[in-house]
Amino acid sequence: MSIEDTEGESLESMTAIQLSDVLTSQKELYCVSCFEFLWPPVMWCEEGNVCGNCWDADSDRFIRNTVLEKILEKLSIQCMNFANGCKVRSNYKEMAEHNKKCTYRRLCCPIDSIDCCSWLGYNKELIDHFIREHPQKTIKSENNSVLLNFDIQKDVKQIKLIVLPGKNFLSLTNTDTINQTLSITVFFIDGDSKSKATEYQFIVQRSTFDNDSVSYETNKFDIVNINNYKEYYNDGLKIDIAPLKKFSIGGFYSCTLKIMSALSENKTNEELLQNFECPVCRNYMKNQIYQCLAGHSMCGDCRFKVEDCPSCRSGFGDTRNYALENISNSIYFPCSYLDRGCEEIFLGEDTIKHEGDCRFRPYVCPFWRTYCNWTGSLTELSEHLKEFHMDSTYIINKKMTKTSHPLPRPFGGII
C-alpha cells in the first residue's frame, strides 16, 4: 500500500499497525543497492539509503542515518515474508534478527557455496530440490545412522542432505590438511527448528573389527536452521585428523554419523540399572548372571573370560545370582545398541531376543579376512561396498553380492 492509496482514508483513522504497514511499504525504506528493506545500520550515500548488509565499512562516503533508524524503531513491523506465510510481527531491531533466520524466506541452494547451482526457493522446497537435482549428495536412511566418507589427504568440502524418517538434516564437512582438522556441522531443517533442534545431538563414531574405536559427541545442535549455514560453516565439531589415520583406507576415512534423540518414553531407572552393570564389559547383566566367591556379580559372557573377580580378586565357582536374574526380567533395559541409534527398551529376556535381530547391531565388511576392518550398520553396508569394493561387488536386481570371499558369521544371510 502506498501513500497515494490512502488518500481516501484519513491517516487519523488508521491504527498504529496499519500506519506501520503503509510506511514500511514505501520504496524509500528499501536499500538502493540490494532493494531489500533497510535493516540496521542504515547508511546514507549520494545514491540514497543503504542497508547494513551493503555498505562498505572501509569507505568514507557513507554516513549513518540515525534519524531514520529512530523512526523505524517506533514502528510495528511485520515479517517481509508474510506473503509466504510468516505471521511474525515485532519491533525494528528484533525483526532485523528474525529476518536472518526466518524459515519462510527464500534461500539459495547450499550446494552453490562449493559448486554451481542457481536454485532459489524456500525451506519446504529444499528437500525435493536435493532429491531431484542432487541425488548423489542425498543420503536416505531408515534409522538415524548414516555413513560419511572423507578424503583426509586433501582439502575437501562436502555438503550432504540426510533424510531420516520424519526429520531432515544437512551436514557440512570441511577437511583442512594445513591445520589437520576435520570439521562437521549439522543443520536441522524444519519450520519450527528453533524449538526442535535442541532435542537432538549427533555422534561421529568409527570402529574397527577388533573393537578399536574413536567417538566424538555434541551435546546439542547449536545451529537451529539452514538459512544461516554460511556464517557457521566451520563452527561445528572439530576433529583432529591424526588419530583418524589408523582407521583410513587409502587416505579415505569412513565414519558413522548418528543423530540421536531422547527416548520417547523413559521407563528405565538409571539408578537401578547401575546395579546391573557388569564390572568387566560395562554392559547390563541379563539372563545368566554369575557370582564370585565373595558375592560380586558378572554377566555370563565375561564369566569365562577372566580367572579372578575384578572387584575383589577372589575366585569363581558355578554360582548363579538367580535373585538378580529374576529382577532383571521385571525391569526395562535399553538396547545394547543404543549408542548406534536403537531407542527401543524391553524387559530383561526380551532385550536379549531383540538384540539378536536389532537392525542397529554392527556388521563387519565381508572382506574382513583380507584387508578391510570396517564395521557399521546394515544400512551403511551398500554405501561402503560401492565406495571401496566396487571392483569385487556386483549389483543384481538392486541387491549387492560379492565374489571370492566367504561371508563371516555376523554377516551371513543379509545379502
Q: What is the CATH number of the domain that holds 336?
A: 3.30.40.10
pLDDT interval class at 201 (50, 70, 90): low
pLDDT recorded at residue 211: 46
Does residue 245 sit in the same domain as residue 115?
A: yes
Each residue of 41-53: pLDDT tens digit?
999 999 999 999 8
pLDDT interval class at 222 (50, 70, 90): very low
pLDDT interval class at 195 (50, 70, 90): very low
If one compares 398 and 385, the residue with the highest pLDDT of the two is: 385
Given 230, 261, 292, the domain boundary residue is: 261
Nearest to 97 by CA among 49, 40, 17, 57: 40
User: Distance of alpha carbon 146 from its chain centroid, rounded?
Assistant: 10
Lowest mean pLDDT among 44-48, 59-63, 210-214: 210-214
* Type of residue at 381: L
Q: How, if at all, do strands 156-164 and 138-140 pair?
A: parallel
Q: Can you tell me the distance from the alpha carbon of 372 to that of 63, in angstroms, rounded to the nearest whole number?
A: 64
Does residue 180 sit in the same domain as residue 296?
A: no
Q: Say yes or no to pLDDT of 207 above 70.
A: no
User: Distance of alpha carbon 87 from its chain centroid, rounded?
Assistant: 28
Burial letters for 327-339: b for 16+ Cβ neighbours within 10 Å, e otherwise?
Answer: ebeebbbbbbbee
Does residue 92 sit in the same domain as residue 207?
A: no
pLDDT interval class at 199 (50, 70, 90): low
Does residue 174 sit in the same domain as residue 243?
A: yes
Given 101, 128, 163, the domain boundary residue is: 101
The grid cell for 4 is: 497515494
User: Distance of alpha carbon 314 from its chain centroid, rounded?
Assistant: 47
* Type of residue at 76: S
Distance between start and end Cα atoms, the chain? 65
Contact 194, 225 (CB under 8 A): yes
User: Which range, 87-101, 192-206, 366-380, is most confident?
Assistant: 87-101
Per-chain mean pLDDT for the chain = 77
Percent of the chain, pLDDT > 70? 77
User: Which range, 76-90, 133-147, 207-221, is most confident?
Assistant: 76-90
pLDDT recorded at residue 405: 42
Does residue 323 sit in the same domain as residue 196?
A: no
The grid cell for 336 is: 545394547
Each residue of 324-346: pLDDT tens digit?
888 888 778 888 887 777 777 88
pLDDT interval class at 212 (50, 70, 90): low
pLDDT recorded at residue 269: 62
Does residue 126 sit in the same domain as residue 246?
A: yes
Does residue 94 sit in the same domain as residue 41?
A: yes
Average pLDDT over residues 17-44: 91
Q: Can you tell me the distance from the alpha carbon of 406 to that of 368, in angstroms, rounded to the nearest whole number?
A: 10
Does residue 257 sit in the same domain as residue 280?
A: no
pTM of the shown model: 0.53
pLDDT interval class at 414 (50, 70, 90): very low
Does residue 176 sit in the same domain as residue 290?
A: no
Does residue 25 sit in the same domain as residue 170?
A: no
User: Which range, 259-273, 319-333, 337-351, is most confident?
Assistant: 319-333
Q: Can you tell me the distance from the alpha carbon of 330 to that of 349, in angstroms, rounded to the nearest whole number?
A: 9
Does residue 287 sit in the same domain as residue 328?
A: yes
Q: SS3 string of the chain?
A: CCCHHHCCCCHHHCCHHHHHHHHHCCHHHECCCCCCECCCCCEEECCEEECCCCCCCCCCCCEECHHHHHHHCCCCEECCCHHHCCCCEECHHHHHHHHHHCCCCCEECHHHHCCCCCCEECHHHHHHHHHHHCHHHEEECCCCEEEEEEECCCCEEEEEEEEECCEEEEEEEEEECCCCEEEEEEEEECCCHHHHHHHEEEEEEEEECCCCEEEEECCCCCCCCHHHCCCCCCCCEEEECHHHHHHCECCEEEEEEEEEECCCCCCCCHHHHHHHECCCCCCECCCCEEEECCCCEEEHHHHCCCCCCCCCCCCEEEEECHHHHHHHCCCEEECCCHHHCCCCEEEHHHHHHHHHHCCCCCEECCCCCCCCCEEECHHHHHHHHHHHCHHHEEEECCEEEECCCCCCHHHCCCC
pLDDT recorded at residue 411: 42
Range of the domain at 298: 270-357
Q: Can you tell me the distance from the alpha carbon of 24 to that of 72, in angstroms, rounded to the nearest whole number?
A: 9
* CATH (domain of 143): 2.60.210.10
Q: Which long-range contacts (CB under 8 A, 24 or more apart) does 396-401 make?
A: none
pLDDT interval class at 10 (50, 70, 90): low
pLDDT recorded at residue 317: 79
Each residue of 74-105: pLDDT tens digit?
999 999 988 888 899 999 999 998 887 787 88
pLDDT recorded at residue 361: 82
pLDDT recorded at residue 4: 53
Given 338, 357, 376, the domain boundary residue is: 357
Query: What is the tally of structural domains in the chain?
Result: 4
Lowest mean pLDDT among 112-126, 249-263, 280-294, 342-356: 249-263
Q: Can you tell me the distance from the alpha carbon of 308 to that of 301, in angstroms, rounded to the nearest whole number?
A: 14
Average pLDDT over residues 190-211: 54
Q: How, if at all, do strands 156-164 and 167-176 pair?
A: antiparallel
pLDDT interval class at 210 (50, 70, 90): very low
Each residue of 292-314: pLDDT tens digit?
888 888 888 888 888 888 888 88
Does residue 62 sit in the same domain as residue 153?
A: no
Q: Say yes or no to pLDDT of 123 above 80.
A: no
